[in-house]
Structures are given as structure tokens and as C-alpha cells.
Structure 1
């Protein structure tokens, strides 16, 4: 079977029993289960959640997004072979490692299939929790333009591109458009300071001011656990984005947990350490695909300038990328997943049918 046939590009059309519209994001689709099915699964499977907790089926796709657009390849290749399985395998690995190291839980309750999570509904913290160990990307561009303050943090003079920072920096940005917060623009993904968060903790969905320090602790601990594990396989954890939220356990206790994905090539920069020691940057993350796009199109400003989103959307819609570009990112994702997990990533012959069969036979969720 060709790789193109094994790509799961459309993931919001499965016949999963739900009473709400399917939420389809750039990469994942979320099916909220009925109250009856949620409560039945909690009883049958013994999940450590409140008996009335809303549950969802989260199905990952092989779609590739970059610069806030979904991209496709020639020959109707509408995703990257193995990408979804690689991302989930990496996140599953890190979440288990977090648990083994006594860190917080995640929103994942069950993993029925390599492309599927059963998750509990969480109250999200409205922050993209970003951690940086090296100066690169947007931080380097700002630094190069003379800016020395980043998210309220003073950066020293004399830093070089792609060099290690004096310490691990937390540079948060907004998740979604937040209104009525002093000194915080009403726009998605704008940089904020720690003081902004502390002064307005409730507006960011924190239950208490104390939890701001807790999220920072979990962010640093999670970063360090992944960084140490990556170093053992010759990789550098450059920077990453975590997301957090609140859930209740079976006893009614509220707890702060990790949400979404962690330490993946979609949410992080990962560099090859031997290459870095020789002065070269070899990306084992989506950053390599971003660089390809910046070099592929004659006017990279379209991809970097938020005021040109209409042109950017048209670029993604109207341009089928060379197959070798998508196969290259496939090799990157599968390669780094196998390096991290020590397990082979096996592509499904017919992922959609496999998911339907498992959810019908083992979970009773298909009408």
C-alpha cells in the first residue's frame, strides 16, 4: 500500500456517538461523548475522574500546519505519513515519564489506538506556556532588532544566534483572545509578562495566585525531564510549548494537569547534538518544514506577516508542495519518535476503519 493511502487527513467524520458538533482543530478533532457514555466508561474502565466528568474522544490526523495554515502535497497527499502516530507516541512517552518522575497527570485517560486518546474535559489555563533554553526563532529576531526585554525578562548583551541562554526562560503568550486585562492586547498569541499573569490570575483561568508558581514549577520540571531524556539519545531540547488545565479526580479534588501534547516536533524545537557541536543546526522538528516553506516561496514575508493572512491562506490552498518535502518531514517525525520511544512507528493500513472497529467493539461508542 502506498504511503498516501495510509494518511489520515480527514478526522472529523467518524461515526462516533456524540451530541455536540465535532470540534476540528488544525491537527486534532474532538468528539464530546454523551453524559450516558461518559458515565458508563468511567464506571466500566475505572478512570480516576469525577463520576460526572465529561469525556471526549480525541483523534489526531496526519495534517501538517505551519504559519497558521494547513498544507498539502502533489498527488492529493493531504498530510504527512506517520505524523499523527509519531506525535501521539512521543506525547504518550513523555506523559508516562512525567508520572514516573512524580510530576502532574495529563488529561489522557486511555489510549485505544495509536491515533486516539480518551480525555477528560479540563478548564484550560489561557496561556501558551513557552520555555526556552536557546536563543533562536522569534526571540532571536527580536534580539537582533535591538530588543533586550522579552516577556518582561531582561536579556544580556552579546548573545549569539542559536546559543544557549544563561538560564531556562519562561516566555508566556496568550491562548486565545482575552479581553479587559490591563496592558495585554486583545489578540491571540501575544507575549505577556509574569506580572501580567499574577496581577490578573483569574482572567487567565487560574484558581489562585499560588497556582501561577505551580504552573511554572510544572513547566520547568517537565522541560528538564524531557531535556535530560533527549540528551541521552543525542538530541537538544531547544524550546517548547506546554498547556495546562484543571480537572477533578474521583474524590472531587481539583488538580492542575498537563494538557494537549508535550515535547513533540510540532510543539518544540529539537536539534541534533552531534551536528550542533560541529556548528550546524539539524532540525528534528517542524521547524525544518517552516524553513522549507520560507525558502520555497519567493516572498517569505507572506508567511511571517500576520497582516497578510488572506494571501497566506491562498498560498497554502493553491500550492501543492513537492512530495519529497512531505516525505522528508515524515522521515523526521518518524525518526525522532523512534529515537525517543525506542519503538518502531507502524503505519496503519486503514487507520479510520481500525479506529471505528476498536471504538465499537471495546468501547461501545459507534452507532
Structure 2
């Protein structure tokens, strides 16, 4: 099983530079190709909407760094296909529940989405049903107010919270917003979002409550189905933005990925009932990486970022660490979707063939 490590050099017809993130690369299509595909494929987008091809890689990011393993393994086999399959499943469930659509218009290949350009709101939309991770670390330090929410005394690590908590953080650095430090990834309250909704790129103050409703409802859809599969949906991050529909109206939609092992914590329910936490998400790799590092503080201390980057660049992990992640991702994807994961043996060649034959967007 091959990995797709490099995804920013495909011969897709575009007039803009390729945007390459930690895991995905985005190719903005020409106006002519966008208009043609909207018409030919009957996408639920305005005829003037901009479309892109989003190609997911198998690269593995953790602690804001990329990781590789022995034997030239520059990614996790099956990871990209697993993330796409899981997100696609949940977006379908959201649509069936009457929540909102996503920016995904089509999935022509297991590693590829056709997406509509959306205008993102500048928050990471986070929901938590259990106290763990950064919330637990803050609570353990004595903090009791989190994103404007007062937490009760005597909570214990990994405990289920009485209510689902909406705990957003900033997406990027916000400037000139009272009570919001000018650094990335700052926790903010719903009240701050309502007061400064324009700064966070909401189109109205009421949309602050609308996003929270879509987040909570989406969480509940996933949690209920995950529970039936013997898993616990612990916490998650969604992203939202505005996209123009067929009628030219901006809609608040789901963006990026949802309910995946990359964006969520998922625990084994049987183990949790017995007082143990068994991760079925990227958190398992994070914990393994902390145990592997001679000085784990490098990975969690943001004041040591230069050392962290140097450690990641100079480290070749044991191959088994990557294969453990592969097993986790493929297993949870097949449980959620109820079918074998479609993993390409020659991903790059298959992607080019599909985009040429089905969408006609490969450069001549």
C-alpha cells in the first residue's frame, strides 16, 4: 500500500498558485472550468462560484510538525482515504438531519474533493463532552472559567461533563479585538463572538448562535452513531464558512473535515467503562510520540518551537509507529462507513486519470 506524501505538484489546470497545507493541497480551477462543472455536474452552487480540487495526502502532522518513519515512509498508509471517507459519511448524515451542507460538491477519488470556495469565519469551532486535553490541563492548574463557562469543582480527568460545552478559539491572529490577545489559537467566549461578530467574519450577530447550534447538532449526530459502534465521541473541532447557493444567497456551511481521528478524540467505550482510555484517534500517536521523545517538553512547550522543529526534522520514527496509526484510522473508517476502505495502490496516477477522464481538468 503506497502513501501519497506529495500532493502539490499534480498537473491540474489552474491559473493560481497551489495552496499546500499540512495535509491538503488546494488547486483553484479556472473560471471557465468552474462554470462548466457547476452546470455539467449540477452542483448546488451559484453559476459564478469558484471551485477547487482539494487533494488530501497521507502525511502525518502532530504538535504542528510533520513526521516520517523508517524505510522512506513519509506518511501513513490509508490515512488520507480514511479521513475523506469519514468526513463524507458525516456530511451525508448532517444533510439527512437537515442541518447544513458542506463545501464538498463531489468526491471523484478517495483522496480528492471538489469543493466550493467559502469565506471562513475566524474561529475553530470546538465542542467538548468530556474534560480532557487542554481543558483538563487548565483545570488542573486551578482555572475554573473556560471560554466564559464556569466549571464546577471536584471534576476528575476524563470525566463526562454534564452538558456539551462550546469552547471556540481564534483561527489565526485577531488584531484590535478587546479582550482577545493578539496570538493564534486563543480561547474566546460566545459573548465575545456576539459582541465582535464582524471581526470574526460572521455576517450577522445571530449567526454566532447559528454556528453553535450547527456544531452542537452535528456533535450529537456523530456521538449517537459512534456510541452504537462501541465508541465514545469525546470532543471535536469543526470549521464553518459562507458559500453562495444556486439562488445567490450566502449560507453558513460546514467546511474542512468533521468527526475524523485527526479533528476529534474517539475512545473505546468498553475500555472507558472499565476506567481506561484507549484512543482511536491521532491522540494515540501524540501520546506515543511523547513517550518516544527523550525530552517531551519540546513537543508541548510553545516557547521551544525551534527545538521542536529541529527534533521533528531530524527524527526518523520506528516504522511501527506509522503502521499503528494506519491500523487505527482504517479500522475506525471502516466501522463508521460500514464498508471496506477504498485505498489506491497508485494514488497519484489514479488521481490524474480520474480528473482527466471524469472532470476534464488535467493540463494538456
In which range does the TM-score fall when normalised by the shorter chain? over 0.9
CA distance in 1, matches of 2:319, 2:263: 23
1:341 aligns with 2:317: no
- The within-5 A match list for 1:301-316 is 301-316=297-312
Structure 1 position 179, deviation (Å): 1.1
Structure 1 position 278, deviation (Å): 0.8
Helix, strand or coil at the partner of 1:236? strand
Report the counterpart of residue 148 of structure 2 in structure 1.
152
Report the counterpart of residue 300 of structure 1 in structure 2.
296
Which is further off, 62-71 or 39-48? 39-48
Pick from 93, 103, 107 the counterpart of residue 103 of structure 2: 107
- The within-5 A match list for 1:79-228 is 79-228=75-224
CA contact (8 A) 2:104 2:114 kept: yes
CA distance in 2, matches of 1:286, 1:13: 27
Pick from 278, 282, 299 the counterpart of residue 278 of structure 2: 282
Give the unaligned 5+ runs of structure 2.
Answer: none
Pick from 223, 236, 239 the counterpart of residue 243 of structure 1: 239
Helix, strand or coil at the partner of 1:202? coil
CA distance in 2, matches of 1:115, 1:101: 26
CA contact (8 A) 2:84 2:111 kept: yes
Report the counterpart of residue 5 of structure 2 in structure 1.
9
Q: Deviations over 1:132-168 (max 9, x none)?
A: 0000000000101111111111000010100101110
Report the counterpart of residue 47 of structure 1 in structure 2.
43
Report the aligned-residue RMSD: 0.6
Helix, strand or coil at the partner of 1:340? helix
Helix, strand or coil at the partner of 1:263? coil
Helix, strand or coil at the partner of 2:6? coil
Report the counterpart of residue 232 of structure 1 in structure 2.
228
CA distance in 2, matches of 1:50, 1:180: 34
Helix, strand or coil at the partner of 2:199? helix
Aligned residues: 363
Q: TM-score, normalised by structure 1?
A: 0.98
Structure 1 position 363, deviation (Å): 0.6
**Structure 1 stretches (4+) deviating beyond 2 angstroms?**
none
1:257 aligns with 2:257: no
Q: Deviations over 1:157-201 (max 9, x none)?
A: 010100101110011000011111111111111111111111100
Structure 1 position 347, deviation (Å): 2.0
Helix, strand or coil at the partner of 1:320? coil
CA distance in 2, matches of 1:231, 1:132: 15
Report the counterpart of residue 358 of structure 1 in structure 2.
354
CA distance in 2, matches of 1:157, 1:333: 36
Structure 1 position 48, deviation (Å): 1.4
Structure 1 position 346, deviation (Å): 3.0
- The within-5 A match list for 1:265-280 is 265-280=261-276
Structure 1 position 46, deviation (Å): 1.1
- The within-5 A match list for 1:46-85 is 46-85=42-81
CA distance in 2, matches of 1:323, 1:140: 31
Give the unaligned 5+ runs of structure 1.
Answer: none
Q: Deviations over 1:195-234 (max 9, x none)?
A: 1111100010100001001000000000000000000100
Helix, strand or coil at the partner of 1:240? strand
CA distance in 2, matches of 1:130, 1:331: 26
Q: Deviations over 1:45-96 (max 9, x none)?
A: 1111111100000000000000000100011100000000000000000000
